[in-house]
Amino acid sequence: MKLNQNKANTMRSGLKNGLSIPLAIVLLLSAFQPVQSRAATPEAVAALFELEQVVLPEVPEAKSTVTVQDVLLKVCLERGYGQACAQHLLGMLWKESNNIATAVGDRGKARGYFQIWVKLHKISVECAEDLECSANWTLDYLERNSYPRYVAYAIQCHNGCNIDNGYAASAMRHGKRLWNSPLAISKTTEVALAR
């Protein structure tokens, strides 16, 4: 009887570990049979499996999620820069819009992720609100202001050249801090930013 008790315990632990009910029944039935007749015929095992139709749930396909960091790094790599460039853009984006594509600031003049003055710079609102397009525009603007030779100066110029307000240092800190915290790309409702 000790042998049968061990088999019953094995069956219970098998159920806890995810064995199917038909297999558990086979184990249970074999626990109470004499040693000589333990081998089940293939037909008997097949009959047990036919008792229960197991329907596996559909598993949705894993979707690769592209993050803000991925897009910014792609923009920088295409231009011959690396992760530091993407971190600079990320910090600027965070300071300007908190990652809100439809952000509106400066009394309606500044739009999108990087708060680009669309009329002044002759850029469409659609581009300002598109992450890749606005990141490319911002990187062009940084390059016109001596990026990457003078990183802090170029970043500061996005907020106003020669203004001593700590914008560049703050943007660079935000970029480093947020780099390993993936940000989702999503359109949200229009939000007016206080400036």
- Domain-embedded: residue 56: no
Same domain, 77 and 172: yes
Same domain, 45 and 89: no
Band of the pLDDT at 44, cuts 50, 70, 90? low
CA 93/CA 158 separation, integer angstroms: 11
Residue 190 pLDDT: 42
- What's the number of domains the chain is made of? 2
- Domain-embedded: residue 12: yes
Alpha-carbon torsion (114, 116, 118, 122), positive or negative: negative
Closest CA to 91 of 135, 148, 129: 135
pTM assigned to the model:
0.65
- Domain-embedded: residue 62: no
Looking at per-residue pLDDT, the higher value among 194 and 10 belongs to: 10
**What is the distance, to the nearest Å, from the Cα of residue 61 to the centroid of all Cα atoms in its chain?**
15
- Domain-embedded: residue 63: no
Same domain, 132 and 182: yes
Q: Residue 35's domain spans which residues?
A: 2-51
